[in-house]
A and B are shown apart, each in its own frame.
Chain A
Amino acid sequence: MSGTTTALAIVGLVVFGTIGFALFGVGRIKMDPAQYIVGGRSFGTIFLWVLLAGEIYTTFTFLGIAGLSYSQGAPAFYAIAYGASAYVIGYFLAPAIWRVAKDHDLLTGPDFFETRYGSRVLGVGVALLMFVMVIPYVALQLSGLQILLHIAGYGAYDTTAAVCIAFIVLAFFVFTAGLRGTAWASVVKDIFVLGAVTFAGIAIPVHFFGSPSAMLDRLLATHPQMLLLPASTAFHGTSWYVSTVLLSAIGFYMGPHSWSAVYSARSGDTLRRNAMLLPLYQTFLALMIIAGLAAALIHPGLKGTAVDQSFLLVVAQYYPPWVLGLIAGAGALAALVPASALLLAGASVITKNVAGDAFGFATSDTSRTLLTRVLVIVVALLALGVWLAAQKTVVELLLLYYNGVTQFAPGAAAAFLYRRATAAAVGAGIAVGLAVAIPLAAFNVSPWGINAGFLALIANVLVLLAVSLRSPTSRTMP
């Protein structure tokens, strides 16, 4: 077997081995909607750990954080900080949301808005927004997967077909195994990814420079500004850093698939224990940052989106194919496992909130599971189509995801903190937040160096407060 196929074969083995292992782990369980969509609300500390950690280590982490530290240095540190801040918020917010979900048998994020604010219109609106956000986010994972396969094949193959096959297999895996399957796959994914991250952040600097510390000495000598944040209002300066960490931390639990992960917990204390322990896991991201900085010295000169390939190119160039295969395999899992959770979340909001609640279609347990399963395949094909048709626009569409999910946070928090908040106020807040965030992000405007999404979040909160104050009645608190 030649070198170019060895690495790709190992990636295939890792991906399909993980899917096989997860199917075995799930076994034969009767799938009612609660089992299929939120794991029967039975996940203990370990399962929940790997599911929530799934959101930390996506291809964005694997390629994007290393790429950001390769091209800009210190701004990449934000990735460590926002995770820890997010878990502090999650310690309070996630168990409160879980309690509501448990008491009212909720299945999806939009269910929470419908139940707490007594408004079907709000529930359906949130469901449609979440669905629209899921598609580009899945497509992004496919772009990441393609980069990984391209490098693992040493650039010798067109990997589009391989991406399509892997993704369709994944969709049928989700069809069969539901959220429980994603959790089992996450167990394997986390082991591989932690191994790969440790290799990238420790073995690479040791190999080339003697130690990570010696690598940093060299970097300080050649690029003295790279390990500092630029001045406050500059591009990726300190204002950007503070606003982005806050924005990302507030939005952390708001992704469509994060709601399912929260609902899947066995108890509120399971979520609290997770929130307490997960910041430790986040510190592993420092290794990806080190890997990106090392790549900047070893393999300089990458520009534009090519920076995302930084440390993988180093591995491809200087290490044997089997090492590249394992690292790219870990990266492929980091793309596919979160994508599986997203497919399920996208399908379940349409089944439950749009087909079921809005049109009274497929409301029995059996038909609801079946429809969700069919929609998993439909969402997968749709994401694949969007990715094949519009690879460039995907990046633009993603702005909708990153700036969009955070806009659900004020409504989620107000459900517990602000008695007067109404459905109309939450809906208006989300609408204004999106209307501010998307144009600013699309034209790449960041007033005073502040992240546009953060300004949109402030607008959202102000509108929520203003509209609530003008409405006469108040809700009962949970």
Chain B
Amino acid sequence: MLDGVRNTAGVLRVLLAAIPIVALTLAVPFVNRVEPRFFGLPFLLSWILVWSLLTPGFLWMIGRMERRW
């Protein structure tokens, strides 16, 4: 829940959640390149795909910290 933001653990969880969002938005102008390519994909597309695949990992960690699974 959002009211969990009011303590240190809450702040840590929100920071963890912010990492993939920042990587997929604000960071993108800095990775707007074709090289190096991974599996033939341009770097920009690889970056977006890898961060989308990492997002569940971040949410899993947040869920663990909240002892939900």
Contact = CB atoms under 8 A, between A and B. Distances in A.
A416 B32 contact: no
Given A242-B29, A417-B2, A286 B17 contact: no
Nearest to B16: A88
A88 B58 contact: yes
A88 B17 contact: yes
A276 B63 contact: yes
B5 to A, nearest CB: 8
A214 interface: yes
Contact of A283 (B1, B44, B52, B60): B52
B49 A80 contact: yes
A410 to B, nearest CB: 14
Interface residues of B, number: 36
Contact of A77 (B45, B55, B62): B45
A249 interface: yes
Nearest to B18: A88
A247 to B, nearest CB: 10
Interface stretch (A51-59, A162-170, A224-232): A224-232
A249 B39 CA distance: 28
Contacts of B68: 269, 272
Contacts of B41: 213, 216
A331 interface: no
Task: Please classify how large the interface on chain A is, using the bins under 10, 10 to 19, 20 to 34, 35 or more.
Answer: 35 or more
A477 interface: yes
B65 to A, nearest CB: 12
Nearest to B13: A92
A238 interface: yes
B24 A245 contact: yes
Contacts of B42: 74, 216, 220, 227-228
Given A81-B24, A220-B34, A269-B68, A238 B48 contact: no
A413 B24 CA distance: 21
Interface class of chain A by DSSP: helix
A87 B2 contact: no
A477 B21 contact: no
B52 A282 contact: yes
Q: Quick one: which of B24, B33, B45, B56 has the most chain A CB within 10 A?
A: B24
A280 B55 CA distance: 8
A282 B48 CA distance: 11
Nearest to B52: A84
Given A77-B44, A220-B34, A93 B2 contact: yes
Interface string B50-64: 011101101110110
Contacts of B40: 211-214, 216-217
Interface string B1-42: 111010000000000010011001110110011100101111
B25 A275 contact: no
Contact of A232 (B3, B29, B58, B69): B29
Contact of B34 (A88, A227, A417): A227
A137 interface: no
Contacts of B37: 216
A403 to B, nearest CB: 19
B63 A88 contact: no
Nearest to A244: B25
A92 B33 CA distance: 33
Contacts of A275: 59
Nearest to A237: B29
Q: Quick one: which of B5, B28, B51 has the most chain A CB within 10 A?
A: B28
Contact of B21 (A85, A95, A216, A273): A85
A286 B45 contact: yes
Contacts of B33: 228
B2 A80 contact: no
A208 to B, nearest CB: 15
A246 interface: yes
A229 B2 contact: no
A83 interface: yes
A120 interface: no
5 tightest A-B CB contacts, nearest first: A213-B40, A238-B29, A276-B59, A84-B52, A279-B55
Given A88-B17, A242-B26, A246-B25, 10 more contacts: A80-B52, A84-B20, A85-B25, A88-B20, A88-B59, A91-B59, A214-B40, A227-B45, A228-B33, A275-B59
Interface of B: 1-3, 5, 17, 20-21, 24-26, 28-29, 32-34, 37, 39-42, 44-45, 48-49, 51-53, 55-56, 58-60, 62-63, 68-69
23 contacts: A82-B24, A84-B52, A88-B20, A91-B17, A91-B59, A92-B17, A95-B1, A216-B42, A220-B42, A227-B42, A227-B45, A229-B29, A229-B32, A238-B28, A238-B29, A238-B32, A241-B29, A272-B63, A275-B59, A276-B60, A279-B53, A282-B52, A416-B2
